[in-house]
Structure 1
Amino acid sequence: MRTLSTGTAPVAATSANPARGLRRYWPRPKSVAGQIALLVVAAIVATHAVAALALFALREPWRAEARPGVAANRLAVIARMLDDTAPEGRDAILTAAKRSVPSLHLGTWDGTPPQVESERLREHPIIERLRDAFGRDLALADLGPDSGSDDPPVLHLGLRTPAGAGLRATLPDETLGPPKRGVIIFTLVFMATTLTLLTVWATRALTAPLAQLAGAAEAFGTRRAPPPLPRRGPEEVLALAGALDRMRARVNRLIDDRTQMLAAISHDLRTPITRLRLRAEFIDDEQARERTLRDLDQMNALVEAALAYARDERAADGGSDKEKPLIDVASLVQTVCDDFSDTGADVRMEQARHVLIRAHPEDVQRAVVNLVDNAVKYAGSARLSVGKSATGVVIAVADDGPGIPEAERHAMLQPFVRGDRARNLNDASGFGLGLSIVFAIVEAHDGRLALENRVGGGLSVRIELPGTLKAAGEDRRPAAVSERANVDG
């Protein structure tokens, strides 16, 4: 893990200023429970308000008989009562109906309906409603052909029931409108939309400090500048933000102290190792002298590896993309292959695609050298490839060694951790810092390091670095193959 200096002042639970903006005039609860309760109550109040408006818009008029459909139904009921009553009792019913429904202007009618009903009555929707409500044959006569001049328009009708009861009535001549489905649908849609927007807004306002806090926690320990911790929000979130900031400061102090201690010890060990080396040269026993010098070389290598690890830990926090030069990854990896090949190691490039990225060449070269060195030590050979990915460049180092068990891969990335016996045949071959340094360099470039065992045996290590700017040319043959072709030609 690298050192990360945040530069963010500690956040206290009391750092929020409640008297700001609308909160000065409309204070809200400071706790999460209170804000959730306020959200629920606000949703219920909004629902009741919209429902009340809908009921007000769809309410029945005070005089329901003024509506054409209601008037036709009531006239049909009165006509059926007269039809089912003996002639001597019809006057009483008609008198009571006049008092109950004065808007119909009821009266007796002694006329005779025409044999052929007028076209106006046959196609009139109110008449159809009247016939449907009566349920029997009903003879009708239009007593007011010029009633269209009335304001409001009315129908003057004469009715003759099957039992011979005659009745004269006046109905409002208005268009029968369908039920207000549009108003109902609009009300429901408006209610759903309003509640959804209110809920989404309130939820986002409630969870925004949590998302900000999660982003700050996720950025901790990486090169990315951490977002500021939330300074406004519920009391619980502010308390958690303050605790996280204090914990971040403690972790940074611990990492700084560890790195400084490691660098100091490694640096101070150089002097006694040098003195011991000079004294070992005067040992008369040649075998004892060689063993002592070999142990001192091992100690010196350990010191150098620890210093390199400490430098990489410190360098992981510095450097922006503007400070990184533009490098050709394929050329850099080819240089590493040539260096190892010059020493007699079986290292070759299998695929090289020229990809330009911004990175620190020394760090990338050190990472590739460490991977190739591990492959040569534990497997005897290494095969490298450079390719282009969707977000950057991929450097792969494969070998035919014993591989690393899946359960040990995470631990192998920690400093001073070495693999099992299969990868440690020589006790003096390493100190467990190679993969740790590679991991620190890759993370410093916002990259990704993946270790996978190959199907046919061996280990494949992939370094994925972002920030591809340009890919020049197609995949070319390895350099050794090209040189061999030139010689044969």
Structure 2
Amino acid sequence: MTRKPLDSLRVQLLLLIIGSLVVAQSISLWLFVDERSLAVRAAIGAEAAGRAANVAMLLEQAPKELRASILRAADSPLARFRTDPQAAVDHLDHRAGGAVEARVRSFFGAEDSREIRVELHEVEREFPPMRSVPPEMAAEHKQMMHDKISGLELTLSIALEDGTWLNVDTRFQRPPLQWPIFSAVSFGFTAAFLIGVAFWYLLARLTWPLRRLAQAADRLGRGEENKPLPVAGPSEVRELTDTFNHMQERLVRTVADKTRIMAALGHDLRSPLTALRVHAEMVDEEETRDALVKSIEEMQDMVERTLAFARGMAISEAPETIELGEFLTELKCDMLNAFRLETDTPLQVRLRPQSMRRALRNVIENAVRYGDDVEVTYSREYDRASIWVRDHGPGIPETQLEEVFEPFFRVETSRSRETGGTGLGLSIARTIMRSHGGDVTLQNHPDGGLLARLDLPFSQSSNQQERTIS
């Protein structure tokens, strides 16, 4: 089974670190831009307030015939000054421009109680023509603003001593988003440092022990010999590795103890059975003697098969990497062409040859004994190799497809042309397949007969090589 790159713990942790860094830098940039915008707004508001207050005082002190000249001189591309009978700000809600009003009053003095109105709001519309502005300057400013101004508009109305109002319209654009060079360099160095340290040290220190642990678990499931893993990495990984080492030790000891007990029982039963055979031969009555000898021979056969079953549970043979088609061809030659074989696709698998040959022989001989025209094929099924053994016999009742794997269980009435076996062949085959990390299952074929499937998983090292190639 292929694994996507994003499924890797190392890649996910690296993306999490880089993503967190990007989010943190983005928040910092947003805060910087907002603070900069507030600072620019305060500076422009203070400048506009001081300029308006100075123009108001100049208008009150200068002769009336000079007012038009003063207003034209005060105009700029972003500010318009005019005197009107009415205030441009027609409401008394000054909360939005309290700081601007305070700034204006500071120029007139604390005893001055004239009315000052301020209105501050966002705008986004075409820039209106300005009075007394040269056409070329207005066109250049319009192009600079992309024909529209988007920002803040400050309208200020100051009451003059003669009852008129000085109305000031000031517009300024929001400061554009800027990425300071220092922030970009800082981000680059921080990201490079995190990638280098986190990827090559911290993540490797975390993921390599986990990968080594997964490979060891795969080898243990396939029955291969495992040495205790070195305890390394973070505390959680060290605890996990130590627990796996203890589990592996207990499993190997338990299997070895059970195998040793079964072998000892089978071996110890040989001597009494041999003695019984000798005593049976001394019986004078022929019919009784033959019955005793037959029973003793059956018991001896069961003891031998029990020993064979115990040997099947033992894991002593070293695994090898072989080509499955060639392996099945050699098995066919050894069994005197007892079945048809199709070997189309080269397939490399890792197994213990003698044990696997024994498991396949038991399944194939069982098919030959109870069926006709046995056919053996194999295929790749995701992360495992599957060997299919099909016969054309009567099949097995669905309720007994699992019971036939029990030791000494025989289905004599459903699919036997002649009595044979002691019911250990399929049990031995399943034991061997499971020691490889696989299994044996049976199912009745839709077209008749029995279909046996032997699954053999690929090792993790083989899967890793295939993922690297792909």
Measured against the shorter chain, the TM-score band is: 0.5 to 0.7
Query: 1:113, CA displacement in angstroms?
Result: 5.8
Name the CA distance, whole Å, in 1 between partners of 2:149 and 2:325. 87
Q: How does 1:59-458 map to 2 (within 5 A)?
A: 59-60=35-36, 62=39, 64=41, 79=81, 84-85=86-87, 96=104, 99=107, 118-125=135-142, 129=149, 133=153, 179-180=176-177, 216-217=216-217, 219-224=219-224, 226=226, 228=229, 230-234=231-235, 238-239=238-239, 241-314=241-314, 316-321=315-320, 327-338=326-337, 348-349=339-340, 351=342, 362-377=354-369, 379-381=370-372, 383-387=374-378, 389=380, 394-403=387-396, 405=398, 409=402, 412-413=404-405, 416=407, 418=409, 422=413, 429-443=420-434, 449-458=440-449
Name the CA distance, whole Å, in 1 between partners of 2:151 and 2:300. 112
Q: Percent identity?
A: 24
Conserved? CA contact 1:222–1:444, under 8 Å: yes
Task: Tell me: CA distance 1:392–1:307, structure 2 relative to 1, closer, same or farther (3 Å).
Answer: same
Conserved? CA contact 1:397–1:461, under 8 Å: yes
Conserved? CA contact 2:323–2:346, under 8 Å: no
Query: 1:362, CA displacement in angstroms?
Result: 4.4
Name the CA distance, whole Å, in 1 between partners of 2:436 and 2:150. 85
Name the CA distance, whole Å, in 2 between partners of 1:113 and 1:324. 93
What is the match of residue 146 of structure 1? none
* Equivalent residue pairs, number: 356
Name the CA distance, whole Å, in 2 between partners of 1:444 and 1:311. 12
The structure showing larger relative contact order (alpha-carbon pairs under 8 Å, at least 6 residues apart) is 1
Question: Which residue identity does 1:273 align to in structure 2?
Answer: L
Query: What is the root-mean-square deviation of aligned Cα atoms in Å?
Result: 5.6
Question: Which residue identity does 1:119 align to in structure 2?
Answer: E
Q: Is the deviation greater in 278-287 or in 454-463?
A: 278-287
Unaligned runs of 5+ in 2: 1-15, 53-74, 89-100, 109-129, 156-163, 459-470
Query: 1:180, CA displacement in angstroms?
Result: 1.0
Conserved? CA contact 2:443–2:451, under 8 Å: yes
Name the CA distance, whole Å, in 2 between partners of 1:417 and 1:450. 18
Unaligned runs of 5+ in 1: 1-39, 87-92, 101-111, 136-163, 339-346, 468-489
Name the CA distance, whole Å, in 2 between partners of 1:220 and 1:356. 22
Task: Tell me: CA distance 1:82–1:466, structure 2 relative to 1, closer, same or farther (3 Å).
Answer: same
Conserved? CA contact 1:452–1:461, under 8 Å: yes
Task: Tell me: CA distance 1:178–1:421, structure 2 relative to 1, closer, same or farther (3 Å).
Answer: farther
Task: Tell me: CA distance 1:312–1:123, structure 2 relative to 1, closer, same or farther (3 Å).
Answer: same
Name the CA distance, whole Å, in 2 between partners of 1:375 and 1:113. 105
Question: Which residue identity does 2:281 align to in structure 1?
Answer: E
Work out which of the residue numbers 462, 469, 475 in structure 1 matches 2:453.
462
Query: 1:54, CA displacement in angstroms?
Result: 4.2
What is the match of residue 478 of structure 1? none
Find the residue that maps to 2:273 and give its secondary structure.
helix
What is the match of residue 4 of structure 2? none
CA deviations 1:75-124 (Å, max 9, x no partner) are: 878747856349xxxxxx9x948949xxxxxxxxxxx967x962322442
Find the residue that maps to 1:283 and give its secondary structure.
coil
Query: 1:207, CA displacement in angstroms?
Result: 7.9
What is the match of residue 20 of structure 1? none
Name the CA distance, whole Å, in 2 between partners of 1:122 and 1:48. 42
Query: 1:372, CA displacement in angstroms?
Result: 3.1
Query: 1:229, CA displacement in angstroms?
Result: 6.3
Question: Which residue identity does 1:84 align to in structure 2?
Answer: Q
Query: 1:426, CA displacement in angstroms?
Result: 10
Conserved? CA contact 1:382–1:398, under 8 Å: yes
Question: Which residue identity does 2:261 align to in structure 1?
Answer: M
Conserved? CA contact 2:231–2:242, under 8 Å: no
Conserved? CA contact 1:328–1:354, under 8 Å: no
Query: 1:383, CA displacement in angstroms?
Result: 0.8
Query: 1:419, CA displacement in angstroms?
Result: 5.4
Task: Tell me: CA distance 1:77–1:98, structure 2 relative to 1, closer, same or farther (3 Å).
Answer: farther
Question: Which residue identity does 1:434 align to in structure 2?
Answer: G
CA deviations 1:35-58 (Å, max 9, x no partner) are: xxxxx9xx9999678634542355
Query: 1:307, CA displacement in angstroms?
Result: 1.9
Question: Which residue identity does 2:32 align to in structure 1?
Answer: F
Conserved? CA contact 1:445–1:465, under 8 Å: yes
Name the CA distance, whole Å, in 1 between partners of 2:210 and 2:232. 11
